[in-house]
């Protein structure tokens, strides 16, 4: 499954492009721009499975670093600071990984 099976290719392209500069990533704005805010729980789970590259059932920090490339292969890697901010936002129990819930 590809991101474009769930999200608009044009929205993905615009969102990845908007955060192409180093240290510019804002996860709230990015997720809004790609259209995740308007998706059903089932659609969100599909996106989660795409981001969970190792199929562990969790998204770990090393997978988050490449989150933009998961949406578009031309995306950049997140910086360590951006990755840690994204992890902190999603890791509600502090175990170093993000679960689907």
Annotated binding site for Ca(2+): 52, 54, 56, 58, 63, 91, 93, 95, 97
Alpha helices in the chain (DSSP H): 9-18, 27-34, 41-51, 61-64, 67-71, 80-90
Binding site per annotation, positions: 52, 54, 56, 58, 63, 91, 93, 95, 97
Identify the helix (H) or strand (E) that includes residue 60: strand 58-60
What is the Cα–Cα distance from 67 to 39, expressed in whole angstroms?
18
């Amino acid at each position: 499954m590809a991101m474009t099976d769930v999200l608009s290719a044009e929205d993905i392209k615009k969102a990845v492009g908007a955060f192409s500069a180093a240290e510019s990533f804002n996860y709230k704005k990015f997720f809004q721009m790609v259209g995740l805010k308007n998706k059903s729980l089932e659609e969100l789970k599909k996106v989660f499975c795409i981001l969970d590259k190792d199929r562990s059932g969790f998204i770990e920090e090393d997978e988050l670093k490449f989150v933009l490339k998961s949406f578009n292969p031309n995306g950049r890697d997140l910086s360590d600071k951006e990755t840690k901010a994204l992890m902190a936002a999603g890791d509600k129990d502090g175990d170093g990984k993000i679960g689907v819930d």
